[in-house]
Structure 1
Amino acid sequence: MADIPSYKQRKVITIGVVSELTGLSERQIRYYEERKLIFPERAPKGNRKYSFADVEQLIDIANKREEGVQTYEIRQDMLRAERKKEKRMRRDLLRGEINARFGIQKE
């Protein structure tokens, strides 16, 4: 069975609606995509599609920019968080494999 993304992860919102929801201009949203801070999907005709999670991310980015944080710093923070999450997932996977190998049950 294929993983069905939650409503927050489904990319269904157009850039115009995202602009209205976030208060950002379409140009700002495209700029954040260029800086690899947001990753919309493309519809068959090339239109960008965003998720509610993307909207939340854009609001977070806008708030950080208002505080004077540069886009480079925001991207570095995102990469650090991603690496930390991957490390945690590898650790949990390894722990699960060890527990299964030695028959350790979680209580």
Structure 2
Amino acid sequence: MEQQDHSYKDKKVISIGIVSELTGLSLRQIRYYEERHLISPQRTSRGTRKYSFSDVERLMDIANKREDGVQTNEILKEMRKKEMRSNPDYRKKMLEGQLNAQFHFRNKK
């Protein structure tokens, strides 16, 4: 069931007009966040943007952070850090680094 919920939220089916209504953001703001690589809609064969419910949630989070004065470049850095932290290889390298620092190991290759 969890996996179905995930795919449901990530399916790109919502038009930019509906996203604007749901988020309270203007079309211009949504396009700007796309230009800044904070959001990545799919494009139809005619070039129409399509968004997912996950995109809507991300846009709401971005809007809240912008209201708090956070710059878009800082939001992007934070998003990239979160993506890296969720990567299993990243976690493994961080743990190896911590062990190496604690026990003064050197990785010999």
Summarize deviations over 1:76-99 as a string: whole Å, max 9, x none.
0001111111146774xxxxxxxx
Partners of 1:83 and 1:30 lie apart in 2 by 25
Find the residue that maps to 1:6 and give its secondary structure.
helix
Partners of 2:64 and 2:89 lie apart in 1 by 27
What's the counterpart of residue 78 of structure 1? 79
Greater shift, 15-24 or 5-14, is seen at 5-14
Partner amino acid, structure 2, of 1:59: M
Residues 85 and 91 in structure 2, CA contact (< 8 A), matched pair in contact too: no
RMSD: 1.9
* Structure 1 residue runs of 4 or more that deviate by more than 2 Å after TM superposition: 87-91
Tell me the TM-score normalized by structure 2. 0.76
What's the counterpart of residue 21 of structure 1? 22
Q: Which runs of 5+ in 2 are unaligned?
A: 93-109
Aligned residue runs from structure 1 range 31-70, under 5 A: 31-70=32-71
What's the counterpart of residue 95 of structure 1? none
Find the residue that maps to 1:7 and give its secondary structure.
helix
Percent identical across equivalent pairs? Answer: 62
Partners of 2:91 and 2:50 lie apart in 1 by 31
Tell me the TM-score normalized by structure 1. 0.77
Alignment of 1:30 onto 2:31: yes
Partners of 2:53 and 2:31 lie apart in 1 by 17
Higher helix share: 2
What's the counterpart of residue 10 of structure 1? 11
Q: Which runs of 5+ in 1 are unaligned?
A: 92-107
Partner amino acid, structure 2, of 1:63: N
Find the residue that maps to 1:8 and give its secondary structure.
helix
